[in-house]
Chains A and B, each alone.
Chain A
Amino acid sequence: MAQEKDRLICVTCPMGCALEVTHEGPALVEVSGHACRRGIEYARAELADPRRMVATTVRVRGGLHPLVPVGTAAPFPKGRIMELMALLREVELEAPVRAGQVVLADALGTGVDILASRSMPAAD
């Protein structure tokens, strides 16, 4: 596979090093611009399997608020976030909701659970 060059910004710490990466598809060949070795790890992961924590809301019936915030329990494949959003749009919970409750297990077969970020008491 041909080698390509790309630019990434490392977000492991607030410094935000501008990385220049040489890669063959998802495999890292060389990186420069990093101030510490965590930049190398970041570049490797970002090329091979970019993931993000995802947070959104789902509907809740009979709660203090009409929505309850939810989030991924672990970083989720970046390329499938919009698919996850479409799926969560269909979810509706019933109050009360407990903080940490599994809202959706093994989302899209990724092994990542979606958890309620807070508890949601029933409306008075």
Chain B
Amino acid sequence: MRRSYDVIVVGSGPGGMAAAVAAKKNGARDVLVIERDVEPGGILLQCIHHGFGVETLRQDLTGPAYAQRFVDEALSLGVDVMVDAMVLRITPSRHLWVTSARSGLVELEARAIVLAMGCRERTRAQIRIPGSRPAGVYTAGTAQRLVNVEGYMPGRRFVILGSGDIGMIMARRLTLEGARVERVLEIMPYLTGLTRNYVQCLLDYGVPLQLSHTVGRILGDRRVEAVEAVQVDERWRPVPGTGELIPCDTLLLSVGLIPENELSRQAGVALDPATGGPYVDEGFGTSVPGIFAAGNVVHVYDLVDWVTEAGYVAGRSAARFALGDQVQGAASVGLRAGENVRYVVPQRLNPESLADGPQRLQLRVVRPIEGRARVQVADGDSLIAEQRLRYARPGEMVTVTLPPSAYDRVRQAKALVVCVTEA
């Protein structure tokens, strides 16, 4: 087995596979993808529903079909894939310690690395639900794997906490498999997932959604017997006297995703507390030279299409770095979240990149604006780019493009501040 590669990608989900494909197409001679599951594809393999590829492929594919397309393309380009293997450590000098039953503990070396570990679900411990600790509390993604890949039903009567996409999709999936979904509870006063999922997963199957509600308590000895739904005020405090017991045997949690960056941290990659992922530049380069990051490991996307796009950019950057023809230029300009913006990716931008073409900034808003809004990129009082939006919602990523014509002003800027306000 080879020990040294131009590019090694950690994770074979959509971000990793796109990075591997792009690295090969941009001249990297040998590319390896390392995957801890028994086959490549990542979390898409358990997302058996449709809706993938609509934006970029103009096709409505299931998750497994979308994954297969990129796995097939990577293999046909000659990308090596190592499955059932776990990366234990990455060093700043781009050595990787990898363990697997087949090859034992091995040390690999890469000219460039792409981190594509994706994200993890938040669990009960992270949201601190009071009550007893019976069996029958699952994250929505764990339940999804049990039902769609392994063939087990985790319960018969469900309550789902969180109106994120995975929660709503599981409400439909469990109903189709004969279970009863009593209710979806959402602590925010608005839906956190996509509207199409509200219509096609909840409305279609008569699953009630309760906004500004959460689980106050879990009841049950060995197994969940009921959860107490409780209304919350605008600061998420339970409103006394609003508790309602809902009998059920299973509680699913769909309460957010966190980029998975243990390996990044060990490698010395600086992380942005706002995203939970690495600080990146427009080529998805991290703070460590030669280490790039792609997809949900950087920030949690709402559509896989954008993960693939990010993977392409990261893979191309990694190939260029590995081949030694990285573009050197002026110092990067920082991007900062301004009014009503939670975060902006990338966090820094090399102005020279605008010579290659327009550069896309992606961000999330703090509070929803239903009605006309505008996103502005400014250097102090000087406006550099502006885009109109029909609305802005925390659940849907906002994209704003810096045109090549902004080159001069970006080069002279101290920092770019992005804000989203009513138009």
Chain A residues packing against B (C-beta within 8 Å): 9, 11, 14-16, 35, 52-53, 55-57, 59, 64-67, 69, 71, 78, 81-82, 85, 99, 117-119
Contacts and interface: CB of A to CB of B under 8 A. Distances in A.
12 contacts: A14-B194, A15-B391, A16-B196, A16-B199, A52-B204, A56-B48, A56-B176, A69-B62, A82-B176, A99-B68, A117-B48, A117-B63
Given A9-B195, A11-B199, A71 B396 contact: no
Contacts of B390: 15, 35
A56 B38 CA distance: 22
Contacts of B198: 9, 16
B68 A71 contact: no
Given A52-B200, A71-B48, A57 B62 contact: no
Given A11-B199, A15-B391, A65-B149, 8 more contacts: A11-B196, A55-B49, A55-B62, A57-B147, A64-B38, A66-B151, A117-B64, A118-B45
Interface string B291-329: 000000000000000000000000000000000000000
Contacts of A55: 48-50, 62
Contacts of A85: 176-177
A55 B47 CA distance: 10
Contacts of A69: 48, 62-64, 148
Contacts of A16: 195-196, 198-199
Contacts of A119: 68
A81 B176 contact: yes
Contact of B48 (A15, A57, A64): A57
B150 A65 contact: yes
Contacts of A65: 149-151
Q: Which of B51, B194, B195 has the most chain A CB atoms closer than 10 A to its own CB?
A: B195
A78 B390 CA distance: 30
A47 to B, nearest CB: 14
Contacts of B48: 55-57, 69, 71, 117
A57 B176 CA distance: 11
Interface string B120-156: 0000000000000000000000000001111100000
B60 interface: yes
Nearest to B67: A118
A84 to B, nearest CB: 9
A57 B49 CA distance: 10
B176 A9 contact: no
A14 B49 contact: no
A9 B199 CA distance: 7
B274 interface: no
Interface in B32-82: 38-39, 41, 45, 48-51, 60, 62-65, 67-68
Nearest to A11: B196
Contacts of A71: 48, 50, 62, 65
B203 interface: yes
